[in-house]
Amino acid sequence: MPATPDILSALTPTGKLRASINLGNPILAGRDGRGQVVGVSVDLAAALAERLGVGLELVVFEAAGKSVEAVAAEQADFGFFAIDPLRGQQIAFTAPYVLIEGYYMVRQSSPLATSDQVDRAGTRVMVGQGSAYDLYLTRHLAQATMVRVASSPSVAAHFLASDVEVAAGVKQVLEHDIATLGGLRLLDQRFMVIQQAMGVPKSRGVQAAAYLAAFVEDMKASGRVAEALRRHRIEGAQVAPAA
């Protein structure tokens, strides 16, 4: 997939490729024992920079909302996000490269047994502000009340320190919280499938968006996404089907 001069200029206006990396979803990115940023999204960003023949700069954020804002404001050239129509007003998304699941978590003593019991008057749901599941539940919950905390990784600690009835998040992250903290459980089934994609500011033009979309399809078809999931020992996430 050769990049034309126009595409290269659109994706790297500063001469290097600036990737917005969200540490709020540890399925895709985090810090290793030396504090270095690593993960599936970092591997894909490096592969894109290599293909373009430019240097890579990681622009790192602790929460999804900040990562989205950076790309929308062109403080980064592209990023890794869950597809959402609100975000899509300013960002052109590729098809998803990874699918993960959103689940509800409650205390062991909770009377709630199923996910369809959550959307009731008097039930409060704690989410990481600006996360994909925050945006989704804001649109879909008719009676339950949203309680937002600064970031997705902080949901479990805030949940345990509060009397909020339900926490929402990425299944694998919640499963880790349950194993680590105890006294918690997941409800019976997912409330959403989170489609993780790459995105570029719409202001960069349709050719840049198309190039990024083709890159994602190549990463899936070549096995690079599956390889990255294995390398970082990510379980439960699925490589998305071809677009």
What pLDDT does residue 29 have?
A: 96
Nearest CA-CA partner of 61 in 37, 85, 43: 37
Positions of E strands within the chain: 17-22, 30-31, 37-38, 56-61, 78-82, 91-93, 98-107, 124-128, 145-149, 166-170, 184-186, 192-201, 238-239
Q: Do residues 126 and 158 make contact, with C-beta atoms less than 8 angstroms apart?
A: yes
What angle is formed at CA 197 by the lines to CA 176 and CA 84, rounded to 5 degrees? 90
Task: Tell whether pTM > 0.85.
Answer: yes
What confidence score (pLDDT) does residue 2 get?
Answer: 79
Supply the pLDDT for residue 105: 98
Contact 228, 45 (CB under 8 A): no
Over the chain (243 residues), the average pLDDT of each successive run of 10 is 92 98 92 95 98 97 92 96 93 97 97 97 96 95 96 92 96 94 96 96 96 98 97 93 95
